[in-house]
Amino acid sequence: MLILNQQAVAEALPMADCIDAMREALSDFAHGRYVLFPRHQLNAGPGEVLMGLMPTFSHVGGEKLWCLKDVLVAHDNHKRGLDNHQGAVLLNDGATGQLLAVLDATEITARRTAATSAVATAALARPNAKTIAILGTGTQAATHIAALRHVLPGARFILWGRSADKLADLSRETGAEIADSAQAAVADADVVCTLTGSKEPIVELGWLKPGCHINAVGSSNRTARELGDDIVAASAFFVDSRSQAAVECGELLQPLERGVIGPDHARAELGEVLAGLRPGRTSLTELTVFKSLGIAVEDAAAAIRAVNNAIDKGLGQKVDW
């Protein structure tokens, strides 16, 4: 059995490799080569650390694998100098059930989430996109900048967040500009990434350029959303998984309950666009939204790529099991 800690995952999964893995996996998902099961979110009570269990079964290229990510969300971890997301990714042989690898979930989650946004941006944003707004200052802000630079090299990045200190640090580390408000950050943006913990909309439709693309990443709960009814109703809306969106996507479920949109408002899953099964953007002026809830297919694909690379590079620790 191979064990990859956070540093080993980072070394074994360069962002370019992770982007490639997400593009392949989401297309494979659209073709039925992954079986995705519901995410179970477990709440032990007010103020307690939350646990999510994310299983999937992969049968890509004749290799059968079970993957399970247990992800713990501890909202006070920033006070401890830790990422809010902790946990492990387990890979098991799909034929024998044997445990093959254990990987740090913090790094897998950070990289695969940003890589998926990069894939969505390449597929759905206008070809001449040049300016990217990053709303939020957490782990995903830095990883999104790193990922998006692979698909939009030379892009200008504009930052906004509620922590002046974190904004200054992120600007210094990445070379991105700082805006005084969310409205100012998105005013000239061709791509907007919402990466916050907000439960209420942080962007208004009137702030956006025609033809803008949005990666909405920050919420995965039916009671929380970063985009309001106006943006969702006006957009061509894409999801990573229809089944997961049907129970977790506040951006869709809240306007649906109010009758603002219909039950078929989501045009396609991202993987269906990548596989050529459904259309993506249809005009240069169309507003497109990709809602990233984060699915176990992405965790499995990132873990498989990391393990294969780690074996080639001699990374990680092997133990008898």
**What pLDDT is recorded for position 220?**
84
User: Residues 230-264: pLDDT tens digits?
Assistant: 999 999 999 999 999 999 999 999 999 999 999 99
**Both structure tokens of 317:** 């620790």
Q: Give the pLDDT mean for 32-52.
A: 94
Same domain, 129 and 69: no
Residue in 307, 297, 315, 300 with CA at minimum distance from that of residue 32: 297
Tell me what the pLDDT averaged over the chain comes to: 96
Same domain, 57 and 88: yes
Same domain, 141 and 262: yes
Range of the domain at 91: 2-108+297-318
User: Residues 10-20: pLDDT tens digits?
Assistant: 999 999 999 99
Cβ proximity of 203 and 135 under 8 Å: yes
User: Residues 155-183: pLDDT tens digits?
Assistant: 999 999 999 999 999 999 999 999 999 99
Place 79 in a pLDDT band, splitting at 50, 70 and 90: confident
Rounded-to-integer distance, Cα 163 and Cα 183, Å? 16
Same domain, 268 and 253: yes
Integer CA distances (angstroms), 69 to 119, 176, 214, in order: 22, 33, 27
- 3-class secondary-structure state, position 45: coil
- Give the list of residues 6+ apart from residue 27 with CB closer than 8 angstroms, or none: 271, 274, 275
The answer to pTM > 0.85 is yes
Same domain, 159 and 90: no
Same domain, 306 and 289: no
The angle formed by the CA atoms of residues 186, 187 and 188, to the nearest 5 degrees, is 95
User: Residues 102-114: pLDDT tens digits?
Assistant: 999 999 999 999 9
State yes or no: pLDDT of 219 exceeds 90. no
CATH of the domain at 96: 3.30.1780.10
Cβ proximity of 144 and 110 under 8 Å: no
Q: Give the pLDDT mean for 134-142.
A: 95
Same domain, 95 and 163: no
Same domain, 120 and 234: yes
